[in-house]
């Protein structure tokens, strides 16, 4: 058994399908070429030692009676929770020393936390000669975030990090709990444009939206909003205006994902881009998980030559937008986009060129 391994897990962008994961719906996502790298080794004692090059901190925690950490050590809950979840599942993982580096910008909504969890799990399983199916790996990392870290995220982030493929988008079905890929035409690139306003999921809005979606499904008499079409939501008398709007976002997103899969398979990038713009409009009006800064970026995208589509990515309430762009025109956009945003909002955005990339792997 190897005594040292290096594991990498990528961040992700969600191209279409916003907040659909916990509604048993569909998402089109992509792993990106930014992620978390962990150099890991086994330890004799049942402890977790973590050091991060990114934040310059170190922490040690017991694996026998793991306690959630607070304050400056809270970041350690991601790997600690992951090892806890593996052990809870009966996987005989022992002591670990983890040295962590990350290229995922924090606060952009690109799911650095899931990348941290997936890289930890991959390293731990490898060091102890264990293996689980990929979807099980994603679910155990989700359990770590739900039950140990205390964020009620869906499975989207972890599954995207696990199932990514170079040059492909991932179709995730959260009812079947399945993943497959569809090609992204090679003339397209992805531009990440951060609003400069950090995305925070531990706040109450995310859990509020989940509760509103549950209430909508209950009022409509279905197991989940996956089971309803937008037409039925529009005509349902049992919904108050806010609950109806929340439900319409979810049903509309599922419909846009289905249309988006067909568009990608046929190489119709313009059509896919229009679905992204429509998705953002629904986030703004129906789900109210956008911000004026994210809206400003999408407005700029609409008038920038070579941009096919744009929308917020991730949970919303801050963070970044994802733009589908013509690869040949992408380099010329970077400066003008930042300047247009500064003039429009007075804020500074950061722009990164990325692409659909390989999922989690060992080096």
| Residue at 109 is within a domain | yes
| Residue at 144 is within a domain | yes
Q: 3-class DSSP state for residue 234?
A: helix
Block residue for tokens 């010329």: 332
Q: Which residues, including other chains, have CB under 8 Å from residue 42's CB and lie 6 or more apart? A: 1, 3, 94, 95, 96, 97, 127, 128
- The pair phi, psi for residue 322, each rounded to 5°, is -115, 130
Total domains present in the chain: 1
User: What's 61's domain CATH number?
Assistant: 3.30.230.10
pLDDT at residue 107, rounded to an integer: 77
- pLDDT, tens digit, for every residue of 326-362? 999 999 999 999 999 999 999 999 999 999 999 999 9
pLDDT at residue 111, rounded to an integer: 87
- pLDDT, tens digit, for every residue of 128-139? 999 999 999 999
pLDDT at residue 1, rounded to an integer: 58
Kindly report the average pLDDT of the chain as a whole number.
95
* Catalytic position from the list 21, 157, 194, 295: 157
- pLDDT, tens digit, for every residue of 160-217? 999 999 999 999 999 999 999 999 999 999 999 999 987 665 558 888 999 999 999 9
Strands (E), 163-300: 168-173, 178-183, 188-194
| Residue at 350 is within a domain | no
pLDDT at residue 206, rounded to an integer: 83
Q: Report which of residues 289 and 3 the model is more confident about.
A: 289
- What is the percent of the chain where pLDDT is above 70? 98
Give the whole-angstrom CA distance, residue 199 versus residue 106.
9
pLDDT at residue 315, rounded to an integer: 86
| Residue at 80 is within a domain | yes
pLDDT at residue 183, rounded to an integer: 97
Question: Is residue 2 predicted with pLDDT exceeding 70?
Answer: no
pLDDT at residue 123, rounded to an integer: 98
The helix-helix angle for 156-163 and 134-143 (nearest 10°) equals: 150
Give the whole-angstrom CA distance, residue 34 versus residue 327.
18
pLDDT at residue 255, rounded to an integer: 98
Q: Kindly report the number of other CB atoms within 10 A of residue 343's CB atom.
A: 9
| Of 112, 174, 178, nearest in space to 145 by CA | 112
| Residue at 31 is within a domain | yes
Q: Are 322 and 273 in contact (CB under 8 A)?
A: no
pLDDT at residue 157, rounded to an integer: 93
pLDDT at residue 358, rounded to an integer: 97
Concerning whether 227 is annotated as a catalytic residue, the answer is: no
- The pair phi, psi for residue 218, each rounded to 5°, is -65, -45
| Residue at 117 is within a domain | yes
| Residue at 107 is within a domain | yes
| Residue at 54 is within a domain | yes
User: How does strand 95-102 pair with strand 47-52?
Assistant: parallel
Give the whole-angstrom CA distance, residue 151 versus residue 203.
9
Q: Are 295 and 83 in contact (CB under 8 A)?
A: no
Which sign does the torsion angle of CA 162, 115, 362, 170 carry? positive
Query: Range of 104's domain?
Result: 4-182
**Which range (71-75, 108-112, 321-325) has the least confidence?**
108-112
The band of 152, judged by pLDDT with boundaries at 50, 70 and 90, is confident
The band of 314, judged by pLDDT with boundaries at 50, 70 and 90, is confident
The band of 106, judged by pLDDT with boundaries at 50, 70 and 90, is confident
- pLDDT, tens digit, for every residue of 256-277? 999 999 999 999 999 999 999 9
């Amino acid at each position: 058994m190897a005594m040292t391994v290096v594991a990498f897990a990528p961040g992700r962008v969600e191209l279409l399908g916003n907040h659909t994961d916990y509604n048993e719906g569909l998402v089109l996502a992509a792993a990106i070429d930014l992620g978390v790298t962990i150099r890991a080794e086994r330890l004799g004692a049942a402890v977790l030692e973590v050091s991060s090059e990114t934040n310059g901190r170190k922490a040690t925690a017991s694996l026998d009676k793991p306690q959630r950490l607070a304050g400056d050590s809270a970041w350690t809950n991601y790997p600690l929770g992951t090892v806890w979840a593996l052990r809870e599942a009966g996987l005989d993982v022992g002591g670990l020393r983890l040295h962590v580096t990350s290229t995922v910008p924090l606060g952009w909504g690109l799911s650095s936390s899931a990348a941290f969890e997936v890289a930890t799990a991959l390293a731990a399983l490898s060091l102890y000669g264990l293996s689980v199916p990929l979807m099980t790996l994603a679910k155990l990392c989700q359990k770590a975030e739900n039950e140990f870290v205390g964020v009620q995220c869906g499975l989207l982030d972890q599954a995207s990090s696990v199932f990514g493929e170079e040059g492909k988008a991932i179709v995730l079905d959260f009812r079947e709990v399945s993943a497959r890929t569809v090609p992204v035409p090679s003339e397209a690139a992805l531009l990440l444009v951060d609003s400069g306003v950090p995305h925070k999921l531990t706040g109450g809005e995310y859990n509020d939206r989940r509760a509103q979606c549950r209430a909508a499904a209950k009022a409509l008499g279905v197991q989940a909003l996956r089971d309803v079409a937008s037409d039925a939501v529009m005509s349902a008398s049992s919904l108050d205006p806010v609950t109806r709007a929340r439900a319409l976002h979810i049903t509309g997103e599922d419909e846009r994902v289905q249309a988006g899969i067909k568009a990608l398979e046929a190489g119709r990038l313009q059509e896919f881009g229009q679905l992204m713009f429509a998705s953002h409009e629904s986030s703004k009006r129906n789900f109210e998980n956008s911000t004026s800064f994210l809206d400003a970026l999408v407005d700029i995208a609409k008038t920038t030559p070579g941009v096919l589509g744009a929308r917020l990515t991730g949970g919303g309430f801050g963070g970044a937008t994802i733009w589908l762009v013509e690869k040949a025109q992408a380099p010329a956009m970077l400066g003008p986009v930042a300047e247009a945003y500064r003039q429009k909002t007075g804020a500074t955005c950061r722009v990164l060129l990325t692409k659909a990339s390989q999922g989690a792997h060992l080096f």
